């Protein structure tokens, strides 16, 4: 008989749909879990697409020394604009490696590096310590001596904080900070998901950003006591703690694979750490 998998019997809330949600749901199923996909957030083009397009054309023309990328979503947002720019005759190709091949690339972690590599980009810097904006700034080089300007392109979410911009500016770089995508609420979650979560019928919750924390608590509910709360990185963990959630799992690197590996390790180490108490965390 096939092995049931290390997460057999676990129901795990996946907070995003789309390609990421489908990939994570598949990996959970392979480990024996039942994924509960609830798209708490979705991604939309920026209000000002022209600003993003202009920045990409400048980068393609040699206007930037580096481009700094902090999520696979950013990679998708940027690569989604390249065929449009190529069709207008503004770039020499429609893939990252063709358009931005002369710009050095920094990625925040392995998930972002993987997404970049798939587009034909070569990643020159990935932090060896903390996989976050803070960690990237800590390992980022200073600009070369001599006449500049020395510019860094930072395409980002509309919700990104100023950590990268202020950190790179302090190192001496000029930062071209442009919104590549907006984070918007997903469709209303089914009421059954909320009653399952607060009633202890969800065993674990995956949280991938501060916005997933906010939307979980405000639109679905507070997980019952005993629910394993998994945060993809330190900033998401801070947001969860600020929202009053106990955090059980934070992987060493911010990627879907590492997040599921860390949940699996936690499940094997804590076979009785399962939901079912049915008491919301706020009532403990």
Q: What pLDDT score does 273 carry?
A: 52
Q: What pLDDT score does 3 carry?
A: 57
- Residue 142: is it exposed, middle or buried by C-beta count within 10 angstroms (0-12/13-18/19+)? exposed
- Helix or strand run (H / E) with residue 66: strand 66-69
Distance of alpha carbon 194 from alpha carbon 202, whole angstroms = 10
What stretches of the chain show up as alpha helix (H) in DSSP?
18-30, 49-60, 72-87, 96-99, 110-118, 133-139, 163-171, 191-198, 210-215, 234-242, 256-269
Q: What pLDDT score does 137 carry?
A: 94
The pTM of the whole model exceeds 0.95:
no
* Side-chain-side CA neighbours of residue 25 (13 Å): 15
| pLDDT per residue of the chain (284 residues) written in tens, 0 to 9 | 445 789 999 999 999 998 889 999 999 999 999 999 999 999 999 999 999 999 999 998 889 999 999 988 999 999 999 999 988 888 888 888 888 888 999 998 888 898 899 988 899 999 987 778 888 999 999 998 887 779 999 999 998 889 999 999 999 999 999 999 999 999 999 999 999 999 999 999 999 999 999 999 999 999 999 999 999 988 899 999 999 999 999 998 778 899 999 999 999 998 755 444 333 333 32
Q: What pLDDT score does 278 carry?
A: 37
Which domains, and CATH codes, for the chain?
Answer: 11-42+187-277 (3.40.50.10090), 49-183 (3.40.50.10090)
């Amino acid at each position: 008989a096939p092995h049931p998998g290390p997460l057999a019997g676990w129901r795990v809330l996946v907070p995003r749909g789309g390609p990421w949600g489908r990939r994570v749901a598949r990996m959970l199923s392979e480990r024996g879990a039942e994924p509960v996909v609830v798209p708490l957030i979705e991604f939309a083009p920026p209000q000002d697409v022209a600003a993003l397009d202009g920045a990409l054309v400048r980068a393609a023309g040699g206007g930037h020394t580096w481009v700094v990328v902090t999520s696979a979503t950013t990679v998708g947002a940027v690569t989604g604009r390249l065929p449009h720019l190529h069709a207008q005759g503004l770039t020499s190709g429609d893939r990252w490696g063709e358009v931005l091949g002369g710009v050095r690339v920094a990625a925040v972690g392995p998930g972002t590096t993987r997404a970049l590599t798939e587009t034909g980009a070569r990643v020159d810097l990935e932090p060896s310590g903390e996989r976050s904006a803070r960690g990237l700034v800590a390992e980022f080089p200073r600009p070369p001596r001599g006449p500049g300007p020395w510019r860094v392109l930072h395409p980002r979410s509309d919700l990104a904080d100023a950590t990268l911009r202020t950190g790179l500016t302090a190192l001496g770089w000029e930062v071209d900070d442009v919104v590549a995508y907006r984070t918007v609420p997903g469709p209303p979650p089914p009421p059954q998901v909320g009653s399952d979560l607060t009633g202890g019928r969800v065993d674990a919750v995956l949280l991938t950003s501060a916005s997933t924390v906010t939307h979980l608590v405000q639109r679905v509910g507070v997980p019952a006591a005993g629910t394993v709360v998994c945060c993809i990185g330190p900033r998401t963990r801070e947001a969860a703690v600020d929202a009053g959630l106990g955090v059980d799992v934070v992987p060493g690197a911010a990627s879907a694979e590492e997040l599921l590996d860390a949940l699996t390790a936690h499940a094997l180490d804590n076979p009785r750490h399962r939901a079912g108490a049915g008491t919301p965390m706020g009532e403990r």
